[in-house]
C-alpha cells in the first residue's frame, strides 16, 4: 500500500508542476518576458538621464524618413545645440542642460511657423561645396552625447515637423543605460545624421597623440561599421580644442567639426571651428528663435 500511495503522490506532484509550467508559459505569452530596468545614463560631466526603458527594447515603428528639403540657398546656417530633452528634477546636476519636452515642442512649432526648415550638417556641407542647395531659412538641430530622450522625445517632435536631427554620439553611450542599437537605427531611418563625439567624452587637449587618435579614429570607425553611415563630422567634447586637436580631427577624415561657441555657421568659417547656438533648459521658444536670427547666445557646453 505504501508503494501505491507513493506512486499516487508522485503522479499528483507531476501534474501540479506541469500545471504551473503551463500557467507560467501562458503569462509570458500574454505579458511578454520580464525585463529589468537599466541603470541611469551617466556621462563624464554630462547630465544624467533616468532611463526607464529596457536596454534591448526596440523603438516604435516609424514612418519613412521625410524627403530632404532642397532649394537654392547656400548661405549661413544656424546650428542649435541641445542635450537632454526632458524636465529636470530638483536634484538634477547641470539642470541647465535639460530642456523640457513641452518647451522643445513649442520651439520647433514656432520655428516652423517662422518659415525655418530643418536640415542636416551633411546637407549644409553639400550646399556650401557645389551640391544640392538648401531650402530657405535652414537650421540644424544637433544633440550631444546620446540620451534616451533623443530617441523617445526629440525624434517624434521633429518627425511631426518633417525635420531630421543630428546626433553627436559618444561610443560609450551605445547600449545599456544609453541609446540602444535599435534606437540609433530608428533615428537614422527617420533621416537623422550620426556624427562622432569621441568614445568617452574626454578633454582632447589633455590627451597624448595615441590616445587622441583612439578617441577620434576608433569612434568614427565604430559608428561607420555599426550603423553603415559616413560620419563626416565631429563634435568636440565640452568644446575643448586647439590647433593640435583640430589637425588630428582633420587627419582622422572628418570634413569639419562643431564647437560650443555662439554664432551662425557659414562657408567662410574654419570648417573645424563651426559655431553653434547653445540652448539652455530655461530658454523659451521665443528666446531660441531670437538667437537663431542673431547668432548670439551663451558660450560653453559639456
The CATH code of the domain that includes 125 is 3.20.20.370
Query: Given this model, what pLDDT does residue 66 score?
Result: 67
Q: How far apart are CA 136 and CA 134, in angstroms?
A: 7
- Please, what's the b/e burial string for 253-267 (b: 16 or more CB within 10 A of its CB; e: otherwise)? ebbbbbbbbbbbbee
Count of structural domains within the chain? 2
72: in domain: no
Q: Quick check: 5 pLDDT over 80?
A: no
Q: Are residues 29 and 89 in the same domain?
A: no
179/30 same-domain check: no
- Confidence tier at 291 by pLDDT (50, 70, 90): very high
* 6 vs 271, higher pLDDT: 271
Give percent of the chain above pLDDT 70. Answer: 78
Q: How confident is residue 70, by pLDDT bands cut at 50, 70 and 90?
A: confident
Same domain, 274 and 219: yes
162 with 247, same domain? yes
pLDDT value at position 58?
46
Structural domain contains residue 57: no
> How confident is the model over 202-211, as a mean pLDDT?
98
**Mean pLDDT across 226-249:** 98
CB atoms within 10 A of CB 61: 7
Residues 194 and 263 in one domain: yes
Looking at residue 300, its pLDDT comes to 73
State mean pLDDT over 165-191.
96
* Residue 38 pLDDT greater than 60, yes or no: no
**Whether residue 196 is found in the same domain as residue 102:** yes
Residues 94 and 26 in one domain: no
What is the per-residue pLDDT for 49?
60
Q: Are residues 123 and 226 in the same domain?
A: yes
Question: Per-residue confidence at 244, pLDDT binned at 50, 70, 90?
Answer: very high
Give the mean pLDDT of 155-177: 96
On whether residue 168 sits in a domain, the answer given is yes
CA distances (Å), origin 82, targets 66, 96, 118: 22, 10, 14
pLDDT of residue 152: 97
Average pLDDT of the chain to the nearest whole number: 84
Residues 172 and 285 in one domain: yes
Contact 52, 86 (CB under 8 A): no
What is the pLDDT confidence band of residue 64, given thresholds at 50, 70 and 90?
Answer: low
Per-residue pLDDT, 302: 72
pLDDT over threshold 70, residue 22: no
The answer to the question of residue 56 being in a domain is no
Domain that holds residue 6: 1-34
25 shares its domain with 112: no
Q: Which residues are CB-neighbours of 249 under 8 A, at least 6 positions away?
A: 216, 234, 241, 257, 272
Does pLDDT of 42 surpass 60? no
The pLDDT value given to residue 68:
80
Residues 30 and 83 in one domain: no
Q: Are residues 29 and 114 in the same domain?
A: no
pLDDT score, position 19 = 44
β-pair partners for 41: 49
Amino acid at each position: 500500500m505504501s508503494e501505491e500511495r507513493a506512486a499516487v503522490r508522485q503522479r499528483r506532484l507531476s501534474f501540479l508542476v506541469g500545471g504551473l509550467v503551463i500557467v507560467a508559459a501562458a503569462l509570458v505569452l500574454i505579458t511578454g518576458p520580464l525585463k529589468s530596468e537599466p541603470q541611469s545614463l551617466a556621462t563624464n560631466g554630462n547630465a544624467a538621464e533616468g532611463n526607464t526603458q529596457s536596454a534591448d527594447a526596440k523603438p516604435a515603428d516609424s514612418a519613412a524618413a521625410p524627403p530632404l528639403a532642397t532649394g537654392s540657398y547656400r548661405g549661413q546656417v544656424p546650428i542649435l545645440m541641445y542635450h537632454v530633452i526632458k524636465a529636470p528634477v530638483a536634484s538634477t546636476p547641470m539642470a541647465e542642460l535639460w530642456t523640457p519636452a513641452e518647451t522643445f515642442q513649442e520651439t520647433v512649432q514656432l520655428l516652423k511657423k517662422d518659415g525655418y526648415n530643418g536640415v542636416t550638417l551633411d546637407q549644409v556641407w553639400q550646399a556650401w561645396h557645389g551640391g544640392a542647395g538648401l531650402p530657405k531659412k535652414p537650421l540644424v538641430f544637433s544633440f550631444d552625447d546620446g540620451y534616451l530622450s533623443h530617441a523617445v522625445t526629440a525624434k517624434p517632435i521633429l518627425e511631426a515637423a518633417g525635420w531630421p536631427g543630428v546626433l553627436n554620439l559618444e561610443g560609450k553611450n551605445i547600449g545599456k543605460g544609453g541609446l540602444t542599437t535599435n534606437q540609433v537605427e530608428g533615428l537614422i531611418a527617420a533621416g537623422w545624421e550620426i556624427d562622432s563625439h569621441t568614445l568617452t567624452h574626454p578633454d582632447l587637449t589633455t590627451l597624448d597623440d595615441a590616445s587622441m587618435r583612439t578617441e577620434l579614429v576608433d569612434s568614427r570607425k565604430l559608428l561607420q561599421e555599426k550603423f553603415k553611415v559616413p560620419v563626416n563630422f565631429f563634435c568636440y567634447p565640452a568644446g575643448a580644442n586647439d590647433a593640435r586637436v583640430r589637425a588630428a580631427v582633420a587627419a582622422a577624415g572628418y570634413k569639419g567639426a562643431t564647437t560650443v561657441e555662439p554664432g551662425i555657421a557659414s562657408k567662410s568659417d574654419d570648417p573645424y571651428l563651426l559655431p553653434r547656438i547653445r540652448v539652455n533648459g530655461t530658454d523659451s521658444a521665443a528666446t531660441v528663435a531670437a538667437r537663431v536670427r542673431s547668432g548670439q547666445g551663451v558660450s560653453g557646453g559639456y
